[in-house]
């Protein structure tokens, strides 16, 4: 779709000005929802999305390819590594299939905790709680900048047993965490209480393939009041310090185990270019200390 088409599309219509879910400013969760083809986005989001598409025409492809990677990584961990517990931080607006649907399609007994601190996501959180009766899901309203708040939340401790392996999913999140928040310390704090055999699943926008487009995109987000920083491959690798990377290591999402694509769950990657996607991804295991 062209940028003009985005600006013209009415979608689900704007929220009333008094609504706490919309203050007339673009929002990263709603913009991502739009890029995934969702309808939970409003005028300010579509206007910002139009600007992003002008600067980075591949952004919709990037969002959907990133989502496909998440699906494949969860399928891999559930089917091949026997993971039955998942913690997804920076959940975003629910877009089916959600992480619990993918995990429970492999292991119905899987237990999933979602975490976000966004009233927009909270308003849609019920869609994240439709667990298979043999498993369980929960939602934590908390900020990734305060990892202890997430880890100590009763919603989490009632669902996940941190003495057993957990897959920690941080997909398309950390580029919204600026350096002054110390994102590397945040990731280490989140991993610290997890049992050996746990995994980190991470994806992150990078300037490595199309620096002009991605840097201009960052400026659009910043102008809308959305913080963050895109990072190089070396900077993304730092998030995996002390972990054992699963082959093929740090890779673009469409080349991370494409053999695990499942068209019936919307995870087929198709033909995309590195420049369109401009993401690095990785999955890594926490070994015994």
Whole-structure pTM value: 0.86
Identify which of 189, 163, 170 has the alpha carbon closest to the alpha carbon of residue 99: 170
Over the stretch 207-227, which tens digit does the pLDDT of each residue have?
999 998 888 888 877 887 778
State residue 271's pLDDT score.
82
For residues 79 and 146, what is the distance between their CA atoms, to the nearest angstrom?
31
Over the stretch 188-198, which tens digit does the pLDDT of each residue have?
999 999 999 99
C-alpha distance from residue 160 to each of 85, 91, 148 (Å) = 7, 17, 15
**Average of per-residue pLDDT across 39-46:** 82
Instruction: Name which residue leads in pLDDT, 140 or 263.
Output: 140
For residues 108 and 101, what is the distance between their CA atoms, to the nearest angstrom?
9
For residues 4 and 30, what is the distance between their CA atoms, to the nearest angstrom?
18
Query: Phi, psi at residue 114, to the nearest 5°?
Result: -100, 145
DSSP string covering 194-233: SPTT-EEEEEEE-SSS-HHHHHHHHHHHHHTT-------H
Instruction: Look over the chain and give the mean of its residue pLDDT values, rounded to a whole number.
Output: 86
């Amino acid at each position: 779709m062209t940028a003009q088409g985005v600006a013209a599309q009415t979608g689900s219509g704007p929220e009333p000005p008094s609504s706490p879910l919309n203050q007339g400013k673009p929002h990263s969760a709603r913009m991502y929802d739009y890029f995934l083809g969702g309808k939970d986005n409003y005028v300010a989001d579509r206007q910002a999305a139009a600007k992003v598409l002008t600067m980075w025409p591949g952004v919709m492809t990037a969002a959907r390819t990133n989502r496909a990677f998440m699906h494949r990584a969860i399928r891999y961990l559930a089917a091949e590594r026997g993971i039955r517990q998942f913690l997804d931080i920076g959940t975003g607006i629910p877009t089916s299939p959600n992480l619990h649907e993918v995990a429970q399609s492999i292991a119905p007994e899987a237990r999933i905790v979602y975490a976000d601190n966004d009233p927009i996501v909270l308003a849609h959180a019920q869609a994240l709680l439709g667990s298979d009766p043999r498993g369980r899901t929960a939602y934590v309203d908390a900020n990734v900048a305060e990892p202890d708040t997430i880890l100590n939340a009763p919603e989490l401790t009632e669902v996940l047993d941190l003495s057993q392996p957990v897959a920690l999913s941080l997909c398309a999140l950390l580029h919204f965490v600026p350096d002054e928040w110390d994102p590397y310390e945040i990731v280490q704090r989140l991993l610290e209480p997890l049992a050996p055999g746990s995994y980190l699943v991470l994806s992150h926008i990078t300037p490595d393939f199309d620096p002009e487009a991605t840097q201009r995109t960052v400026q659009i987000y910043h102008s809308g009041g959305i913080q963050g920083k895109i990072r190089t491959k070396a900077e993304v690798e730092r998030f995996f310090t002390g972990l054992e990377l699963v082959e093929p290591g740090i890779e673009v999402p469409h080349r991370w185990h494409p053999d695990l694509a499942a068209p019936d769950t919307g995870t087929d990657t198709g033909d995309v270019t590195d420049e369109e996607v401009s993401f690095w991804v990785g999955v890594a295991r926490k070994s015994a200390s």
